[in-house]
Amino acid sequence: MQSFRSAVGESPLRYILLLRIRNAQVLLETTDGTISEIARIVGYENSMYFSRLFRKEKGMSPLKYRKAFLEGVFDVSAAKGDFAVVCGIIIGRREGGADMFDREAAVSVFRAYTAGYAPENTMIRLKIVHTFRVAELCGRIAGSLGMAGSPLDLAWFLGLLHDIGRFEQVRRYGTFFDAKSVDHADFGADLLFREGLIERFPADSLPEGWRERGETAIRLHNKLTLPEDLDPETKVFAEILRDADKVDIFRVVSEIPLEERLGKSASEIEENEDLTPEVMACVYEHRCVPRTVRRTRFDNHISHGCMAFELVFEESRRIAAEQGFLDRLLAEKDDSGRQIWNEKETAALRTLRQELRRTSGS
Distance of CA 195 to the CA centre of its chain: 24
The pLDDT value recorded for residue 4 is: 61
Residue 328, amino acid: R
3-state helix, strand, coil in the chain (%, to 5): 70, 0, 30
Which residues in the chain are classed under CATH 1.10.10.60? 1-91
> What is the pLDDT, as a whole number, of residue 90?
36
Select from 239, 206, 248 the least CA-distant residue to 220. Answer: 239
Nearest to 263 by CA among 353, 139, 189, 173: 173
The amino acid at 292: T
Residue 75 identity (one-letter amino acid): D
Distance between CA atoms of 161 and 142, rounded to whole angstroms?
16
CATH class of residue range 114-265 = mainly alpha
DSSP characters over 235-303: HHHHHHHHHHHHHHHHHHHHHS-HHHHHT--GGGS---SSPPHHHHHHHHHTSPPPGGG--SHHHHHHH
Kindly compute the dihedral angle of the four CA atoms of residues 57, 61, 62, 64, in this order, to the nearest 10 degrees. -130
* Residue 197 one-letter amino acid: L
Distance of alpha carbon 327 from alpha carbon 204, whole angstroms: 40
- Count, in order, helices (H) and strands (E) of the chain: 19, 0
CATH number of 1-91: 1.10.10.60
| Residue 9 vs residues 23, 91, 93, 280, 332: alpha-carbon distances, Å | 19, 12, 10, 46, 43
Question: pLDDT value at position 281?
Answer: 96
pLDDT tens, per residue, the chain with 362 residues: 456 666 657 787 887 888 888 888 878 876 777 898 888 888 888 889 999 999 999 999 999 888 877 665 544 333 333 333 323 333 433 444 556 899 989 998 998 999 888 877 777 888 888 999 999 999 999 999 999 999 999 999 999 999 999 999 999 998 888 988 999 999 999 999 999 999 999 998 899 999 999 999 999 999 999 999 999 999 999 999 999 999 999 988 887 665 555 545 444 444 555 688 999 999 999 999 998 898 888 898 899 999 999 999 999 999 999 888 899 889 988 778 888 888 889 999 999 999 999 987 65
| Distance (Å, whole) CA 47 – CA 203 | 37
Name, in order, each residue with C-beta under 8 angstroms of 9's C-beta and a sequence gap of 6 or more: 88, 89, 94, 95
Q: Rounded to an integer, what distance in angstroms lies between the CA atom of residue 201 and that of residue 101?
A: 11
Q: What is the rounded distance in angstroms from the CA atom of residue 88 to the CA atom of residue 90? A: 6
Q: Is there a contact between 58 and 78 (Cβ–Cβ < 8 Å)?
A: no
Which residues, 6 or more positions from 305, have their beta carbon under 8 angstroms from its beta carbon? 326, 329, 330, 349, 352, 356
What pLDDT does 66 receive?
A: 85
Domain(s) labelled CATH 1.10.3210.10 in the chain stretch across 114-265
**Residues with Cβ < 8 Å from 122, sequence gap 6 or more?**
260
